[in-house]
Structure 1
């Protein structure tokens, strides 16, 4: 890749890569597109630095990795779909109603570790994200590699969770988040937007995904989403819940050493493998706003299904958070 400026995301680690200065014209070059795809498959995440900070570049980068998946809910804000098809707009205005507290600090836009669309049978391939309005403190997006998590998980927990399937349901009420929640976590006020989302999810069957899966290249991936998890399939007992909570707490603990937290700049964009990595949001002071835009790359790893063999016609709208 002599034409591309590539460095590790974290020195000495395989997860992630940095690619500096890719241009719009390069995103149209078939050879470079092939090289960038191979880089993504190998490392599971790419941070694109010093790129053109525009919607057209966001779409062009996304197109390298496959067709985009438009958001099915018309309620989700979009940008100009003629100029930037598939780009959704996620804006947190200053001093919103929804708030949580972690470590005694009041935060907005905080999200726990998760993978996207856990509540559906299909998992999108990836997300491509950029920041337009960046708070002066906080507002970081975190990523942790499921391959590294599997390898670092204690042998006892690894043995107990491997071969198990986890049940997920759309649940954006932060008061309900409990698996792996920090001891000092509190929901101070729900986001008013949560209720229509929850109303839409009424009657939708739960989705099931393996806690550990194996990539074609042979690596095992710990792929448990503490957010929206409801229990272990076939073991919704105190013992099963205790196991899921222990694994979720270990994910939070391991993320302190294994996690990568991205401090945003306007000239950054990034992509992560939704089948391999978990992501989170650090939250920020309520007095500041934060605005992000993202695209979703189509795909599915083929291992998820709805509980009880329910049809995909019953699935909840694939909202993006």
Structure 2
């Protein structure tokens, strides 16, 4: 446990490869000094958890703006659909159905490992996710992976194989195979022809200077300049390394939790839960820069 001079904030690292609890702060009345401590802890630990918070949507948006300019979610960009009336920066993540229609995104299915919005040129730097309703069966946990640690632990042959190479991240299909609204599928059916952003496999954090793997998501990813089979072999090796290593930490949600993570050097995944149970979270994302 660490106390920070000038504030009552305590930072409690999880003891895993990433993550820390931040205690002794009310996010609704955050001072500049407290925010400075929180921002540094976010850079140090990559994922932060704040428990028993009571902030509303407006305070949630205000907190996100302290990290930078906010972005809208890709669904809003492509369809114009906004889930919180009057606050387009807030996206509902939910399986709840009201009047025959979903009130939010993603539903009750499992989410594959990914970094948010990797398929756009400037993916978010940060995501802030706040819990309002949580399944009582303990399902729907969220796990994160430290991609800086994963890069540092790469075998020498894989480090050499990825140096200077880039991945195209599919902007047409989601991981379930469903096509995103407003996109055009390639007539060839070849993943090399799918539209999407191209980012380096190894990126450098613009603030800390630390290097990390940036895999985005696995579905339809393609290593530029390679034959498809060669690309698949390299990507399989990278994902096997990341999944088999001790690089992760899991958040067991409670109502009132707020999570902030660095989207540039982590991946995350939502676990399964009983679809008959209500799950509702609100999220804002902070604009980032083009990975380099």
1:259 to 240, 245, 248: 248
Give the secondary-structure state (helix, strand or coil) at the position aligned to 2:49.
strand
Q: Which residue of 1 aligns with 2:26?
A: 23
Q: Which residue of 2 aligns with 1:93?
A: 96
1:202 to 184, 191, 205: 184
* Deviation at residue 127 of structure 1 after TM alignment: 0.7
Q: In 2, Cα distance between the equivalents of 1:126 and 1:43? A: 13
CA distance 1:130–1:23, change in 2 (3 Å): same
Deviation string 1:10-45 (CA, Å, 9 cap, x unpaired) is 2275x3321124224542x22222222222222222
Verify the 8 A CA contact 2:214 2:264 in the aligned structure 1.
yes
Q: Which residue of 2 aligns with 1:190?
A: none
CA distance 1:252–1:117, change in 2 (3 Å): same
Give the secondary-structure state (helix, strand or coil) at the position aligned to 2:116.
coil
Q: In 2, Cα distance between the equivalents of 1:108 and 1:158? A: 37
Q: Which residue of 1 aligns with 2:84?
A: 79
Q: Which residue of 1 aligns with 2:63?
A: 61
The alignment's TM-score, normalised by the length of structure 2, stands at 0.81
Q: In 2, Cα distance between the equivalents of 1:10 and 1:235? A: 40
2:214 to 190, 212, 223: 223
Mean alpha-carbon deviation: is it higher for 108-117 or for 155-164? 155-164
* Deviation at residue 232 of structure 1 after TM alignment: 0.4
Deviation string 1:75-101 (CA, Å, 9 cap, x unpaired) is 4442242xx45111122137x9xxxxx
Verify the 8 A CA contact 2:51 2:256 in the aligned structure 1.
yes
**2:44 pairs with 1:42:** yes
Verify the 8 A CA contact 1:166 1:229 in the aligned structure 2.
no
1:244 to 235, 242, 247: 235
Verify the 8 A CA contact 1:126 1:271 in the aligned structure 2.
yes
* Deviation at residue 302 of structure 1 after TM alignment: 4.5
For these two proteins, the number of residue pairs brought into alignment is 266
Q: Which residue of 2 aligns with 1:298?
A: 287
Q: Which residue of 2 aligns with 1:269?
A: 258
2:15 to 11, 14, 19: 11
The alignment's TM-score, normalised by the length of structure 1, stands at 0.74
Verify the 8 A CA contact 2:112 2:175 in the aligned structure 1.
no
Q: Pairwise CA RMSD of aligned residues?
A: 2.5
Mean alpha-carbon deviation: is it higher for 33-42 or for 69-78? 69-78
Give the secondary-structure state (helix, strand or coil) at the position aligned to 1:113.
coil
